[in-house]
Amino acid sequence: MLNESVARIDSLQKDNAHYLRRQGQFESNVRSYPRKLPLAIAKAHGAWVTDVEGKTYLDCLAGAGTLALGHNHPDIMASIDYFMSSGLPMHTLDLTTPQKDAFSEKLLSLLPGQGRDYCLQFCGPSGADAVEAALKLAKTFTGRSSIISFSGGYHGMTHGALSVTGNTGPKDAVASLMPGVQFMPYPHEYRCPLGIGGEAGIEALGYYFTQFIEDVESGVSLPAAVILEAVQGEGGVNCAPPQWLRRIREVTQRHGILLIIDEVQAGFGRTGKMFAFEHAGIEPDIIVMSKAVGGGLPLAVLGLKREFDAWQPGAHTGTFRGNQMAMATGLATLNTLQQQDLPAQAERRGAWLKTRLVALQQRYPALGQVRGRGLMLGIEIVDERQSPDRLNSYPGDPTLAVAIQKHCFDHGLLLERGGRQGNVIRLLPPLIIDDEQCALVMERFEQALQSALSQERH
Ligand SMILES: Cc1ncc(COP(=O)(O)O)c(C=O)c1O
């Protein structure tokens, strides 16, 4: 008997608008991606997505960076097949299984020092819940009440996670977020928040942070934790300069402030190393992991230094901490990442894309800056017809960025925007993207750019 719980691919309506219309009826106004990428997906494989009308797209969004191995990778599908015939339970709260045991051993081995000083905490299966756990643990361990976060940071949409997120848009809509959050400026290659720029700007930001923590008249008590992304994703692909990040590590260590590094998006090879903080050679106190760690299924885990494990039993629970199938697909992902050295491949393909984008920049001055690491790239879209600021940076052009995203969609390229005004075009392809597909990304991007420019700039 056919299983009627799975949508039948041969009986689908070949009409994106049909599904989008029904989605609009079924779902809340809160839906976001379908407004920018108006399709109904019928199939996906590797870096390719096919909509119900049969049109194919190169996926440079990859589940917001989740799909390190792309869609339906054979190793992941094999792990699901094996899991389904193994008799293992799907759901176990936080009870252990041989599956969880094997996954935990592997994940720990990837943490600094092969994880010798770390233990794991399985959280509810979203990045935001793991962020909540990290904040609570830092408060529990230190007995302090405040947190320092950074401008441009993104940590999720639950109350605590949103409180430490920079973007004021979604924050302003919700009264009374978590109190005690202090924001500090994060380095930005194109728009230095201190208006200094270059190495001097980075040095000044590190100096300012140090002074702020050490000045007994800063007006701010020592925080429980500092939370940051080593490469900001949603904030517009801003890389923490290694010397700045090392300074944050030194100062936090000196004052017993826990350093929480959020690797939800940048983690697992995307930036050319297993974790983005490795570019600075530092060891975080708490590492927040989700997205790629589950191989496409929901999973979120903290890696925390054992010395900070101040939890009482059950002090942070969650029904879905025990998603066994996600541990199988996650383990398949971690194994394949390592065996195929996908972080190194991400670095090579990212460098190739970056070089090509920089070359494009010479011909299209609306591409204000190309930045990022590995396969986490951002292109700042600017209005070069306006006057530049004192750092020779042009104002953002969010209207043109929206048009570029739309034309990319029309040309079969799925990507997202980010950054202060949503004016940063972001490339987050799966790490398995090949040379030919990278060339196609560039081809489609340039075509879309030309169409968007002729639409917006006449
Ligand atoms: C760096 C970072 N932290 C946390 C989150 C929140 O993860 P989730 O959407 O799974 O709650 C995200 C999501 O994009 C993220 O990019």
Alpha-carbon torsion angle 192, 196, 202, 207, nearest 10: -120
**Percent of all residues in the chain with a pLDDT value above 70, rounded to a whole number:** 99
Q: Which domain holds residue 182?
A: 76-339
Q: Are the C-beta atoms of 213 and 203 separated by less than 8 Å? A: no
Domain match, 228 and 289 both: yes
Helix, strand, coil percent content, the chain, rounded in steps of 5: 45, 15, 40
Between 324-339 and 98-110, two packed helices, what is the crossing angle to 10 degrees? Answer: 40
pLDDT, averaged across the chain = 97
Tell me how far the alpha carbon of residue 179 is from its chain's centroid: 25
Q: State the pLDDT at residue 2.
A: 56
Ligand 1 pocket, residue 290 CB under 6 Å: yes
Contact 431/235 with Cβ under 8 angstroms? no
C-alpha 47 to ligand 1 mean position (Å): 21
What's residue 119's pLDDT? 98
Q: pLDDT tens digits for 46-87?
A: 999 999 999 999 999 999 999 999 999 999 999 999 999 999
Coil, helix or strand at residue 56: strand
CATH code (residue 23) = 3.90.1150.10
Span 36-51, pLDDT tens digits? 999 999 999 999 999 9
Q: Does any ligand 1 atom lie closer than 6 A to the CB of residue 162?
A: no
What is the C-alpha separation between 60 and 71, in angstroms, rounded?
A: 12
* Sequence-distant (≥ 6) Cβ neighbours of residue 440 within 8 angstroms: 58
Residue 71 located in a structural domain: no
Tell whether ligand 1 has an atom less than 6 A from the beta carbon of residue 234. Answer: yes
Residue 141: CB within 6 Å of ligand 1? no
The CB of 229 under 6 Å from ligand 1? The reply is yes
The radius of gyration computed from the CA coordinates of the chain, to the nearest angstrom, equals 22
Same domain, 321 and 371: no
Q: Is the CB of 150 under 6 A from ligand 1?
A: no
Pocket test for ligand 1, best of 32, 61, 154 (most atoms within 8 A of CB): 154
Indicate the SS3 state at residue 152.
coil
pLDDT at 364 over 80: yes
How many Å lie between the centroid of ligand 1 and the Cα of residue 397? 26
Q: Is the pLDDT of residue 114 over 60?
A: yes
Pocket test for ligand 1, best of 163, 164, 262, 290 (most atoms within 8 A of CB): 290
- Tell me, using a 6 A CB cutoff, whether residue 233 lines ligand 1: yes
Same-domain check for residues 206 and 325: yes
Least Cα distance to 303 among 137, 163, 181 occurs for 137
Ligand 1 contact, 155 CB (< 6 A): yes
Residue 12 is predicted with a pLDDT of 85
| Structural domains of the chain, count | 2
Q: Is 316 in the pocket of ligand 1 (CB under 6 A)?
A: no
Q: Is the CB of 232 under 6 A from ligand 1?
A: no
The CA distances from residue 248 to 182, 204, 207, 212, 227, in Å, are 15, 13, 10, 12, 10
| Confidence label for 176 from pLDDT (cuts 50, 70 and 90) | very high
Tell me the whole-structure pTM to 2 decimals.
Answer: 0.98
Last residue of a domain, one of 284, 318, 339: 339
Domain boundary among 306, 324, 339: 339
SS3 (DSSP) at 143: coil
- Strand (E) or helix (H) holding 148: strand 147-150
Does 70 map to a domain? Answer: no
At 123-162, the pLDDT tens digits run: 999 999 999 999 999 999 999 999 999 999 999 999 999 9
Residue 301 Cβ < 6 Å to ligand 1: no
393 φ/ψ angles, rounded to the nearest 5 degrees: -105, 140
- In 23-74, where do the E strands start and end? 41-45, 48-51, 56-59
Residue 180 sits in the same domain as residue 199: yes
Please enumerate in sequence order all residues whose Cβ is within 8 A of that of 199, keeping only pairs 6 or more positions apart, or say none: none
Shared domain check, 141 and 243: yes
Q: How far apart are CA 397 and CA 383, in angstroms?
A: 5
Query: Band of the pLDDT at 4, cuts 50, 70, 90?
Result: confident
Co-location of 207 and 265 in the same domain: yes
Ligand 1 centroid to Cα of residue 363, in Å, is 35
Same domain? For 145 and 49 the reply is: no
User: Residue 454 has which token pair?
Assistant: 């002729």
| Ligand 1 contacts CB of residue 154 (under 6 A) | yes
Question: Which pLDDT score, from 0 to 100, does residue 456 have?
Answer: 97
Report the chain's terminal Cα–Cα distance, integer Å: 58
* Nearest alpha carbon, ligand 1 atom 16: 265
> Which of 30, 155, 227 has most ligand 1 atoms within 8 Å of CB, for mutation?
155
